[in-house]
Structure 1
């Protein structure tokens, strides 16, 4: 299901500027998660708006996002305020609304690369797993998660969802369909592509929506997609669950790490 040319995220979701510090986008129904537009897509759009609102094209370094309401299939509107912090950093506060009600808000930190006397460290290397071409495809059931049609998932290690396993983790090669440039926005979608990390320990699906997501960017990919995504449950209890996710490119370079706080509704 690959395309010959990559679409940009703005093209995929018709993200357009509507006026001073204003934007709008529409997420079609094929990008729905459990009950509405996929959370990773909302995060990606907030990142794209932040990049557009910044005075210069600096790399995205960190994202801190909170979901404030349940999004629907209606048009999303965005507003953003950028503030320079010193000479190397810009922080953009971004909000998403529908019909005047807040849906999500994020603080996106962008920063230029600068020389440093501290030695570089590329982060933890990728785990040793089979090459993506050696891994079988796995499809999320579209009747439960329609957005699954946009994820080419090839499990590489760990248990599968809903198998009653002992280990709350999953690890898979993942590629977006259609393929999008592997930038900060696409990484936000990929960080939310797998089910909650407790799903392998379950036998039936349970609604476990994301309430808060933080993502930190480490490096730009040196190779094309797919990327290796590993999500591990850090803790679950009292109706809440916390997942940690890491993303590497095919060379083993750490691209991003994310943490999600989720509500357990079942």
Structure 2
């Protein structure tokens, strides 16, 4: 049974009636207002749609390893088109480019890397932050439409508007409707919490729109995990260290409940 996330990120390949201007293949999707933040849809939601189109353009046995999306204009509610072009197919790595459009208006540019598992040295020095389990954490309810698409449990850092000394925020998160955390959902989660730069804010005026300029996601495991359940919570943690000249960076991590690092993200956003 499909969830709202599945329906709102669905991509459908379209034929010659919409011949790609940029690439080799074209996919139709639709931007839904239920994922709105302030001036447009959430960047993670847009990344999930783009990722689905890129993934449909490569061999199914090659999983996403890296995705970078540059956001050039805010989409409006309604139909969009994602055009893709395979730039190179190597023995183990496929590089594919894409762009999202509404009419002739370019909304996003993307580049993805897909690969089979490779043999190589293995180590794991990453440690999930020590936090209380989701059952012991307070629910967080945001004020924007996108917040209704997820269930949040605040577990780390400060809440928006707390006047905190450190720009850090995060906690447990899962879809409002039970759904396995595959790569598109994890991509969306990397931009699903309020910006970390809201934690040091002391007033609503300091928490205006923070549109994403670019978002890079590194997928560190094949998703969904083999033993995953649709109602699993995942820990998402976000930190910002430097805001200057109207821009702020944000680093993110997404963890499974048992402490496995699923994805790392970094984005640059406009602030103020």
Q: If the length of structure 1 is used for normalisation, what is the TM-score?
A: 0.91
In the comparison of the two structures, how many residue pairs are matched?
256
The CA deviation at 1:35 is 1.1
The answer on 1:250 being equivalent to 2:266 is: no
C-alpha distance in structure 2 between counterparts of 1:24 and 1:179, whole Å:
25
Structure 1 partner of 2:20:
none
The CA deviation at 1:46 is 0.7
Could you tell me which runs of 5 or more consecutive residues in structure 1 were left unpaired when the two chains were aligned: none
The CA deviation at 1:164 is 1.4
Alpha carbons 1:157, 1:172 under 8 Å: kept: yes
Closer, same or farther: CA 149–98 of 1 in aligned 2, 3 Å? same
Q: Aligned to 2:75, what secondary structure does the other structure show?
A: coil
Q: Aligned to 2:148, what secondary structure does the other structure show?
A: helix
Runs of 4+ in 1 over 4 A off after TM superposition: none
Structure 2 partner of 1:19:
15
The answer on 1:209 being equivalent to 2:205 is: no
Alpha carbons 1:66, 1:212 under 8 Å: kept: yes
Q: Aligned to 2:241, what secondary structure does the other structure show?
A: strand
Closer, same or farther: CA 14–253 of 1 in aligned 2, 3 Å? closer
The CA deviation at 1:91 is 0.7
Structure 1 partner of 2:22:
none
C-alpha distance in structure 2 between counterparts of 1:123 and 1:11, whole Å:
37
The answer on 1:260 being equivalent to 2:259 is: no
Structure 2 partner of 1:132:
134
Closer, same or farther: CA 123–256 of 1 in aligned 2, 3 Å? farther
Closer, same or farther: CA 259–103 of 1 in aligned 2, 3 Å? same
Pick one of 80, 85, 91 that aligns with 1:81.
85
Q: Aligned to 2:184, what secondary structure does the other structure show?
A: helix
Pick one of 212, 220, 226 that aligns with 2:233.
226
Structure 2 partner of 1:95:
99
Pick one of 3, 7, 23 that aligns with 1:7.
3
The CA deviation at 1:262 is 0.5
Alpha carbons 1:6, 1:181 under 8 Å: kept: no
Once the two structures are overlaid, the 10-residue window that deviates more, 29-38 or 93-102, is 29-38
CA RMSD of aligned residues (A): 1.7
The answer on 1:122 being equivalent to 2:129 is: no
C-alpha distance in structure 2 between counterparts of 1:131 and 1:106, whole Å:
35
Closer, same or farther: CA 206–149 of 1 in aligned 2, 3 Å? same
C-alpha distance in structure 2 between counterparts of 1:131 and 1:177, whole Å:
18
Alpha carbons 1:122, 1:218 under 8 Å: kept: no
Closer, same or farther: CA 85–13 of 1 in aligned 2, 3 Å? closer
C-alpha distance in structure 2 between counterparts of 1:36 and 1:78, whole Å:
18
C-alpha distance in structure 2 between counterparts of 1:57 and 1:146, whole Å:
35
Q: Deviations over 1:169-209 (max 9, x none)?
A: 01200111233331211111100011111101112122111
